[in-house]
Amino acid sequence: MKIINAFIEPIVREAIEKRQNSLATGDGDAKPEDEEGETLLDHLVSLTSDR
């Protein structure tokens, strides 16, 4: 688990920071019509900021 967490934590932290910056600039509320490029992580971060 230490290896997995060491790999995952920076990715999750970056995604959360990206979402928070998006919300701060006002870009985070708009949902794109085409969510095909959205990843599972993008979707989860849009629902919660809990790591």
Q: What digits encode the pLDDT tens for the residues 5-29?
A: 999 999 999 999 999 898 888 865 5
Say how far residue 35 (Cα) sits from the centre of its chain: 14
Q: What is the mean pLDDT of the chain?
A: 84
Structure tokens at 5: 């967490």
Record the pTM: 0.68
pLDDT at residue 12 in the model: 94
CB 16 within 8 A of CB 49: yes
Q: Is the pLDDT of residue 36 over 80?
A: no
For residue 11, the 8-state DSSP code is H
pLDDT at residue 1 in the model: 96
32 falls in which pLDDT band (50, 70, 90)? Answer: low
